[in-house]
């Protein structure tokens, strides 16, 4: 019986994934490789490579008095990156939060870590993304035109104004 429940929940997860990418897709590129800036202060190639999508997520304002931490951050992400990995079943995902929202809800950074904004820049062949937890990722996009367009969209996502309302 548990096996049937797992199949149903797996099917529901797949349906949710499909509807998200079918209706909220902002941009895709067919080939991307993810690098991470490691403690050795060098770029380290990860196991993630494949199709990368930038998509719109549902913004969920926090309830009054809700604890501000990593879990609440997951609710606030307005955009997301997902890489459908060709190397293994594990996919890469990264939430993007407009800096206006970050400054409003996390004036001292997530869990007071001092990181006040996400950042994106383009450097040679990499789109460099700095997240709110201090991780730095490099997105190597094969197609130069895709790289430029994806960078511009990500920059827009981080700088745009999202209405901030608490229910």
pLDDT digit string, tens, across residues 16-42: 565 656 668 899 999 999 999 999 999
CB 157 within 8 A of CB 119: no
pTM for the full model?
0.81
pLDDT at position 77, please? 87
Q: Burial level of 38, CB count in 10 A (0-12/13-18/19+)?
A: exposed
pLDDT at position 149, please? 97
pLDDT at position 74, please? 80
Domains with residue ranges and CATH for the chain: 25-159 (2.30.29.30)
Low-confidence ranges of the chain (pLDDT < 50): 1-8, 166-167
Q: Which two tokens stand for residue 11?
A: 């099917």
pLDDT at position 70, please? 73
For residue 16, what are the CA distances in angstroms to 25, 58, 80, 87, 94? 13, 12, 14, 23, 17
pLDDT at position 45, please? 97
pLDDT at position 165, please? 55
Q: CB 95: neighbour CB atoms within 10 A? A: 17
């Amino acid at each position: 019986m548990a096996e049937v429940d797992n199949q149903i929940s797996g099917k529901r997860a797949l349906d949710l994934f499909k509807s998200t990418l079918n209706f909220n897709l902002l941009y895709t590129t067919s080939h991307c490789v993810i690098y991470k800036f490691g403690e050795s202060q060098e770029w380290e190639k990860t196991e993630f490579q494949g199709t990368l999508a930038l998509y719109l997520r549902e913004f969920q304002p926090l309830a009054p008095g809700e604890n501000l931490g990593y879990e609440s951050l997951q609710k606030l992400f307005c955009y997301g990156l997902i890489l459908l990995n060709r190397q293994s079943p594990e996919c890469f995902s990264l939430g993007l939060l407009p800096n206006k929202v970050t400054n409003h809800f996390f004036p001292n950074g997530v869990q007071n870590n001092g990181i006040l904004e996400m950042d994106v820049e383009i450097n040679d062949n990499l789109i460099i993304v700095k997240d709110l937890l201090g991780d730095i990722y490099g997105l190597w996009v094969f197609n130069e035109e895709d790289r430029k367009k994806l960078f511009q969209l990500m920059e827009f996502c981080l700088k745009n104004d999202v209405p901030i309302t608490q229910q």
